[in-house]
Amino acid sequence: MTVITSIEDLRVLAKRRVPRMFYDYADVGSWTESTYRANEADFDKMLLRQRVAVNIDNRSLRTTMIGQPVSMPVALAPVGLTGMQHADGEILAARACKKFGVPFTLSTMSICSIEDVAQETGGHPFWFQLYVMRDRDFINSLIDRAKAANCSALVLTLDLQIIGQRHKDLKNGMSAPPKPTLRNMINLATKPRWCLGMLGTKRRQFGNIVGHVKGVEDMGSLSEWTSKQFDPQLTWKDVEWIKNRWGGKLILKGIQDVEDARLAVETGADALIVSNHGGRQLDGAQSSIAALPAVVDAVGHKIEVHMDGGIRSGQHVFKAMALGAKGTYIGRSFVYGLGAMGEAGVTKALEIIHKELDLTMAFCGHTDINNVGREVLLPGPIYADARRTGANDEPLFAASRQSANWGDTAAQVASGSSGLATASR
């Protein structure tokens, strides 16, 4: 492949270069993967209003996310095992973000540690994603390490108290590093570029955990510890405790429901992320873009609303911003770039999304991403006709709000006339 022009091009190249179990880990959804597919497909159901004869010179995509200046409203989402997509993957992705001017979020379940990323990026601030585990001493330690590493925000994931069933991971026997089974060795033999990279790095295990938890010194003890650690008893009281313990900017990830969004506001968090964990947890859940409008309408004036899930182009970012998001996150899109070409691939993914976002904004007659609103969208299954209003004269969103008009939407779905009829396929 000589010319890369889209995220799909990067995906195809990554599939060729990354071992099967790690490519599948990034590409997998839970159960039937219907929500995983809907995340992307529902974006494509949204239609844009093209405008002409408008001065579109001097365009700007610059904005802020939780008060931090960004070159475009995009951050890299936390993705576990990024360092298994490419050697030292988290470090390379963080470097690309630093140069591009967008936030990088490091996962608790990363291969490179908090300290690795901080050292290799020259102390440039990045965000750290935290899972709540039973071992509260370990959580305290992670928070302290994030502070010491100059992390400028904590992203607290709320939708992984238990792990969704991901069939590909189970069938592949996914582990880091890969277990030396015959099937794995045969597959690794076809990925010489990846193998050479891994031979050249010492970072092949979960860097935030191994050596930082008593009794966890190898993959066997790590697997046993991890399987018991995600805390099913997580409540909003724990969120309050973590906020106070952290003391800095806090972003809550995994909000889909309006009531949960209101509870998130009550914690005093700085932002929430409308997210279904990339379709990796509850299969059959609403797509993130379909859930976004109702959350924005309910709490968008009280807290900064971000979203992730299914973003594969700059047009998808534009549509999320039009529905009221103040920022977006890309996960698989940057992982494909990383697996395909390392740091250069992450940069390429950001360049593609930046260019597509800029062109889309221009075609819709805007020059400043901060001024984009719902007027750029045509009525459709995600964004209902703004002339139909509810009791409070607010637009109705057929994909995300139950109202007096829900019966009309249900009838459309039943008849197959609504675009959402196939949202979960």
Let me know: does 43 contact 310? Beta carbons within 8 Å.
yes
Residue with tokens 């990796």: 280
% of residues, the chain, pLDDT over 90: 74
Find all residues with CB under 8 Å of 216, minimum gap 6, and list them: 209, 210, 222, 225
Q: Show the 3-state SS of 335-388.
A: HHHHHHHCHHHHHHHHHHHHHHHHHHHHHCCCCEHHHCCHHHECCCCCCCCCCC
Q: How far is CA 289 from the centre of its chain?
A: 12
Residue range 379-388: mean pLDDT, rounded: 64
CATH topology of domain 7-369: TIM Barrel (3.20.20)
**Does the annotation flag 403 for ligand binding?**
no
Residue range 22-40: mean pLDDT, rounded: 94
**Does the annotation flag 56 for ligand binding?**
no
Rounded Cα distance between 75 and 415, Å, is: 39
Residue range 144-169: mean pLDDT, rounded: 91
Give the 3-state secondary structure of residue 70: strand
Rounded Cα distance between 159 and 49, Å, is: 35
Residue range 242-261: mean pLDDT, rounded: 98
Full-model pTM:
0.88
**Does the annotation flag 310 for ligand binding?**
yes
**Does the annotation flag 107 for ligand binding?**
yes
Q: Give the β-pairing of 63-65 and 68-70.
A: antiparallel
**Does the annotation flag 309 for ligand binding?**
yes
**Does the annotation flag 137 for ligand binding?**
no
**Span of 108-112, 168-172, 263-267, 324-328 with lowest mean pLDDT:** 168-172
> Of all helices (H) and strands (E), which one includes residue 155?
strand 153-157
Task: Give the model's pLDDT for residue 231.
Answer: 84
As given in the structure block, the two tokens for residue 237 are 């009281």
Q: Please check the confidence at residue 218 and state whether its pLDDT lies above 80.
A: no
Question: Which backbone phi and psi does 196 adopt, to 5 degrees?
Answer: -65, -40
Find all residues with CB under 8 Å of 288, minimum gap 6, and list them: 39, 256, 274, 275, 276, 307, 308, 309, 310
CA-to-CA dists, residue 320 to 6, 326, 328, angstroms: 19, 8, 7
Q: Return the closest-CA partner of residue 321 out of 48, 3, 9, 33.
A: 48
Q: What is the pLDDT of residues 342-360, one digit of tens each?
A: 999 999 999 999 999 999 9
**Does the annotation flag 374 for ligand binding?**
no
Residue range 65-73: mean pLDDT, rounded: 98
Task: Give the model's pLDDT for residue 224.
Answer: 66
Q: Please check the confidence at residue 382 and state whether its pLDDT lies above 90.
A: no
- Asked if the bond preceding 73 is cis, omega within 30° of 0, the reply is no
**Does the annotation flag 388 for ligand binding?**
no
Query: Is 277 a known active-site residue?
Result: yes
Q: Please check the confidence at residue 229 and state whether its pLDDT lies above 90.
A: no
**Does the annotation flag 23 for ligand binding?**
no
Task: Give the model's pLDDT for residue 225.
Answer: 74
List the chain domain ranges. Answer: 7-369, 379-425
**Span of 69-78, 198-207, 245-254, 413-422 with lowest mean pLDDT:** 413-422
**Does the annotation flag 6 for ligand binding?**
no
Task: Give the model's pLDDT for residue 172.
Answer: 79
Task: Give the model's pLDDT for residue 217.
Answer: 63
Task: Give the model's pLDDT for residue 222.
Answer: 63
**Does the annotation flag 280 for ligand binding?**
yes
**Does the annotation flag 79 for ligand binding?**
yes
% of residues, the chain, pLDDT over 70: 87
Let me know: does 99 contact 201? Beta carbons within 8 Å.
no
Q: Which of 124, 167, 212, 277 is catalytic?
A: 277
As given in the structure block, the two tokens for residue 243 are 């906020």
